Amino acid sequence: MLKFAKRRALLLIGAVATLAVAGAAFAFWTGGGSGTGSASAEGAQTGLTANQTTTLIAMYPGDSAQTISGNFDNPNSGPIHVSSVTVSIDSVTKAVGAPAGTCDSTDFTLANTAMTVNAEVPTGTAKGSFTGATIRFNNKATNQDACKGATVSLAYVIA
């Protein structure tokens, strides 16, 4: 009889323990509550600067194309994603004392002007890279002596 009473007591203790755990679990999962929170986004980002790292050699009519490459300066506190860099001819400045005549952007050809970057540019100077566009001096049927010593200024748009 004592054996039966011990077994019954153990079963009763097990059942009470199971109900207690189940009750606690029910209370945990069904408990209500409320709260508040806040977050803030960082202010506007400062624009990146594109740096041309390729030193182009002096061009002449009919010259082969030269590749344009560069990197970025990122003054922000974190990395900035760059999708592409597009280059264009900003201006052409004749050299002092150059022969009379016209020298302008039509004397030069830019190709592959949209360069894919698709990368995060880390904070700092001379970070990341772009490459792929080319520039060459066209060989026109007209006299191009006015372009001797001219400076071609390129503009970069970062997207």
Name which residue leads in pLDDT, 38 or 101: 101
Domain encompassing residue 145 = 49-158
Tell me if 19 is assigned to some domain: no
Bridge partner list, 88:
155
- Average pLDDT, stretch 89-116? 97
Tell me if 119 is assigned to some domain: yes
Distances from the Cα of 146 to the Cα of 44, 59, 100, angstroms:
45, 13, 6
Which of 40-49, 57-66, 127-136 has the weakest average pLDDT?
40-49
Tell me if 90 is assigned to some domain: yes
Q: What is the pLDDT of residue 15?
A: 46
Tell me if 36 is assigned to some domain: no
**In the predicted model, is pLDDT for residue 41 greater than 90?**
no
Tell me if 40 is assigned to some domain: no
Tell me if 20 is assigned to some domain: no
How big is the CA angle at 13 (ends 7 and 18), to the nearest 5 degrees?
Answer: 125
- Average pLDDT, stretch 5-28? 46
Average pLDDT score over the chain:
82
Sign of CA pseudo-dihedral 91, 65, 68, 149 = negative
Q: How confident is the model at residue 105 (pLDDT cuts 50, 70, 90)?
A: very high
Q: What is the pLDDT of residue 28?
A: 44
Tell me if 30 is assigned to some domain: no
- Number of domains comprising the chain: 1
